[in-house]
Chains A and B, each alone.
Chain A
């Protein structure tokens, strides 16, 4: 069992399986760091998966599908941001609502556009390095599709944005002390909108990775909880890009391993293996795996000073709010 080839296979598969989780994990990370908890990653992924497959099937190109999914993700992210930031709706409820709508909408649309469910019609991303893979064992690990590479490349990009740009600094501040950021004259609402839209785009992209890269099909409910796995990933990664990457790779490899376990005669209960990522995230949350601190203002709606009368901040005078 411990042959080299086995582990290469596991690693290669692990990367493939990690990618669809990495995108929404990074998206959820950005969103949550700004103070908006997005439990609707699952629904966004589903929309992205469908949209990617549908436009891919219609256009014949997986790239078009991928980009379309990102666009849809942006639009949906905008809606999410409007509800949670401008309307100050309960973030968990909105996320759950998105998940429900997504399930229904994609199921319905699948019926209307059956080609999306047909693997012959849905185009797929090809692996890029078949030649290298044939030539050497190790090559199999790097033989991934373009979106997988993009996904991994996103990690340093997200890191750079979070820690090396003004936007990232302001965003992190918004997640901990939105009132102070507001007092300093920065537009918390806009930053959160941007973060949530970015999150939506990434989540939807992750869904498209599922339907266009990992598989070439859309199946009803195909995300099966990956959106929540993404949440576990960035929680385990302690709200940091690098940690999130590590978590996703860990989960991906674990998944790949578990799939192969049965063939080896290991009778570790498959269901409990599935639970492992969540247990790991819990342990990280509790602090058994190093200190963990969620952004302090997560989940709470940000209400700018009521008595402010400014065009910049969307706040209104106390008097006009008399309900």
Chain B
């Protein structure tokens, strides 16, 4: 039971993009009515949401037309997630109105939002991995818990859905065994099963290969042709420009502007996002500056790991990083990068091959090998300790504040760590806070302070700018560049190709546990890298 007219009625189907419709010839109800004559699928007016002193959303108004792909662009911290949570019913706004199909609605909770036709596919999927796909979808569609289990009808619906939208889904597969791309398709299937009129996709491409991304974009086109409106959230300008009909930009909690898809450029978008045009600094000064020494600081020689159900098997991986250079590892998450790092750090023993690290042994020693983990919450900071205690963990031998027996001299420890924090742009007072009190960007800076203080000779940086705003991203890149100039050997693992291209002297691509391509920065380009990332040797 919903308050708004449902836009999936046959009469409301509109066309947004004719280019990919050859496969939709079986949809008989295509209407040539233009979009503009229909009420907006979703309209926000004056949405405000404050958390304490922070105005997460400040008087935001925007409209999404039926059957369009409308992107919300903004830096991390701009208010996109809060706004989406409001639309999805997870939180309610302090003021402002939401209308669906021209009718104002009051979205009470996610269930209600779902009934109104709003669905969201989150960055981290809400799937139960001990159950099958069908069981998951069944739970999503469950109305009454006090009934017999009956999966038959659902199976038929899944089949139908799968065919109609060309959405391949394996109904009896255990979710735990599915690839990330497949899991995402299950989430989308869920949204369609629940008859979404408005589908919010939150950073959907961060976990996909370029090939899977194109598949997703084609799917999006097909969906919009059936009248579904898609809200696409991303921070990647290139993708947003490719897929969107219109792009709305948020900055600091406020709505800035909406730009038509075909009129969007990197310049006007980034200017709207940040308030000034951004010049992507390139740090690579050309390989003539690299002075190759005889010995690499970091070397992986023919490393193979064992076959394991929870991890990707590495197969004869060989890499070298010399002092004063950055080697970038490109590739979609889940192709062996984490396993490679674990082998480098000694957390995983290879069955064949060897690892050499010159650096004075790992972490609790002095600066030797620095590691910036790709997940600052899960692998980075300890949640129940203050920041200075977190930093202290890395300094087991520092006699500035540790006696020989290992007793901590609290005051000098705090002072010393505060200084380390300042060097990374944080105020001294941060030292006494808990990690949970800091934003993502600040947490990342804390991690950098922990690892990079003291001129490490080897740095393994995994997704170092994940979740950071532009300023933070620039800071990290500048830091890595500086360390390189000071002679560190840096292994940079990143899913962001622009980042790799901006920083790395040499680039290797990992796919399914192997290094399938290696080249210098000069020889690299997006197309070639994209192909390799997708597994196709160039």
Contact = CB atoms under 8 A, between A and B. Distances in A.
Nearest to A318: B51
Contact of B147 (A166, A296, A305, A307): A166
Interface string B392-430: 000000000000000000000000000000000000000
Interface string B263-301: 000000000000000000000000000000000000000
Nearest to B125: A180
B531 to A, nearest CB: 35
B109 interface: yes
Between B114, B122, B145, the greatest number of chain A beta carbons within 10 A of the residue's beta carbon is seen for: B145
Nearest to A163: B149
Contacts of B142: 166, 170, 184, 186
A177 B128 CA distance: 6
A164 B149 contact: yes
A177 B144 CA distance: 19
Contact of B91 (A163, A181, A307): A307
A269 interface: no
A177 B130 contact: yes
Given A177-B129, A179-B126, A191 B139 contact: no
A310 interface: yes
A167 B145 contact: yes
Contact of B109 (A163, A176, A296, A312): A312
B465 interface: no
A184 B114 CA distance: 10
A166 B148 contact: yes
A186 B139 contact: yes
Nearest to B137: A184
Nearest to B150: A166
A271 interface: no
Interface in B138-172: 138-140, 142, 144-149
A177 B109 CA distance: 20
B52 interface: yes
Q: Which of B85, B111, B135 has the most CB of A within 10 A?
A: B111
B128 A165 contact: no
Given A183-B110, A185-B110, A166 B145 contact: yes
A172 B114 CA distance: 23
Contacts of B128: 173, 176-177, 180-181
A307 B148 contact: no
A180 B128 CA distance: 6
B63 interface: no
Nearest to A190: B145
B355 interface: no
The B interface is mostly helix, strand or loop, or mixed, namely loop
Given A176-B128, A186-B139, A319-B52, A166 B111 contact: no
A173 B108 contact: no
The contact size tier of chain B is 20 to 34
B461 to A, nearest CB: 30
Interface in A145-170: 163-170
Interface in A168-214: 168-170, 172-173, 176-177, 179-181, 183-186, 191
Contacts of B131: 169, 172-173
A189 to B, nearest CB: 13
Q: Count chain B CB atoms within 10 A of each CB in A173, A183, A305, A312 and give the residue with the most.
A: A183
A309 interface: yes
B90 A311 contact: no
A260 interface: no
A312 B112 CA distance: 10
B127 interface: yes
A186 B145 contact: yes
Contacts of A173: 128, 130-131, 135, 139
B31 to A, nearest CB: 33
B71 interface: no
Interface residues of A, number: 32
B468 to A, nearest CB: 23
B304 interface: no
B224 interface: no
A180 B130 CA distance: 12
Nearest to B92: A309
A312 B111 contact: yes
Contacts of A310: 89, 108-111
A308 B128 CA distance: 21
Interface string A13-57: 000000000000000000000000000000000000000000000
A180 B148 contact: no
A179 B124 CA distance: 11
A6 B126 CA distance: 56
Contacts of A317: 91
A170 B149 CA distance: 10
Contacts of B140: 184-185
B372 to A, nearest CB: 27
A32 B27 CA distance: 49
Contacts of A296: 130
Contacts of A308: 90-91, 109
A180 B108 CA distance: 19
Contacts of B51: 318-319
B171 to A, nearest CB: 15
A169 B52 contact: no
Contacts of A165: 146-149
B74 to A, nearest CB: 19
B111 A181 contact: no
A191 B139 CA distance: 13
B111 A185 contact: yes
Contacts of B147: 165-166
A185 B85 CA distance: 14
B537 to A, nearest CB: 38
Contacts of A307: 85, 90-91
A32 to B, nearest CB: 14
Nearest to B112: A310
A166 B135 contact: no
Contacts of A172: 130-131
Nearest to B49: A307
Contacts of A169: 131, 135, 138-139, 149
A196 to B, nearest CB: 16
A306 to B, nearest CB: 10
Given A165-B146, A186-B139, A305-B90, 18 more contacts: A164-B149, A166-B148, A167-B146, A168-B149, A169-B135, A170-B139, A172-B131, A173-B131, A176-B128, A177-B130, A179-B126, A180-B126, A180-B127, A185-B140, A307-B85, A308-B109, A310-B110, A311-B109
Pairs of residues from A and B, 6 with the lowest C-beta to C-beta distance, nearest first: A310-B109, A183-B126, A185-B111, A180-B126, A177-B128, A176-B130
25 contacts: A165-B149, A166-B142, A167-B145, A169-B135, A169-B149, A173-B128, A173-B130, A173-B131, A173-B135, A180-B128, A181-B128, A181-B139, A184-B139, A185-B140, A307-B85, A308-B90, A309-B91, A309-B92, A310-B108, A310-B110, A311-B109, A312-B111, A317-B91, A318-B51, A319-B51
Interface of B: 51-52, 85, 89-92, 108-111, 114, 122, 125-131, 135, 138-140, 142, 144-149
